[in-house]
């Protein structure tokens, strides 16, 4: 009986180490899959799997990034506020994806997200903040579990 249990556990755990991939397809949708992305994709990255020892991110940051990914919407004509939003995320060493909205579809995406086309817009998991407000950004990141300081200490 114990051999059967060990065999079952081994088989169940075999899929846990499978590599997953995350990318943005040509229509702007984020795709997470166990197969590598096709040739014509944007923002392709490996997701999940083993943590990379050389990425320098604290465990709390890695955990928060897996659960609550951060997306910063910007635009080419957004200069000062978008720079400040970017710097806040970089100072806290928050891994984030920046999406510069330029197409009508991307404008519609932001409009659905916050009710109007407004940049910068920060999305942390399912929560969002319209415009640059450092206290609101910090609050969203704190709630998601991102460390408060760049040293990784909460």
Separation between Cα atoms, residue 104 and residue 107, nearest integer Å:
5
Q: What pLDDT does 27 receive?
A: 62
Residue 16 has pLDDT above 70, yes or no: no
Local structure of residue 54 (DSSP, 8 states): T
CATH code of the domain occupying 57-154: 3.40.30.10
Q: Please state the length of the chain.
A: 154
Separation between Cα atoms, residue 41 and residue 38, nearest integer Å:
7
Residues forming CATH 3.40.30.10 domain(s) in the chain: 57-154
Q: Is beta strand 127-130 parallel, antiparallel or unpaired with respect to 70-74?
A: unpaired
Per-residue pLDDT reduced to its tens digit, 78-137 = 999 999 999 999 999 999 999 999 999 999 999 998 888 889 999 999 999 999 999 999
Q: Which two tokens stand for residue 9?
A: 């556990």
- Across 3-12, 54-63, 89-98, the highest mean pLDDT is recorded for 89-98
């Amino acid at each position: 009986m114990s051999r059967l249990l060990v065999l079952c556990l081994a088989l169940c755990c075999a899929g846990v180490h499978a590599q997953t991939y995350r990318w943005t397809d040509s229509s702007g949708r984020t795709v997470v899959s166990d197969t590598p992305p096709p040739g014509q994709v944007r923002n392709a990255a490996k997701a999940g799997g083993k943590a990379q020892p050389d990425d320098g991110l604290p465990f709390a940051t890695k955990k928060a990034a897996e659960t609550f990914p951060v997306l910063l919407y910007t635009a080419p004509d957004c200069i000062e506020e978008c720079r400040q939003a970017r710097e806040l995320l970089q100072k806290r060493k928050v891994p984030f994806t920046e999406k510069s909205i330029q197409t009508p579809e991307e404008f519609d995406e932001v409009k659905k997200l916050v009710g109007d086309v407004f940049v910068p817009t920060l999305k942390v998991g399912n929560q969002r903040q319209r415009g640059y407000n450092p206290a609101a950004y910090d609050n969203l990141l704190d709630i998601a579990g991102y460390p408060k300081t760049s040293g990784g200490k909460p």
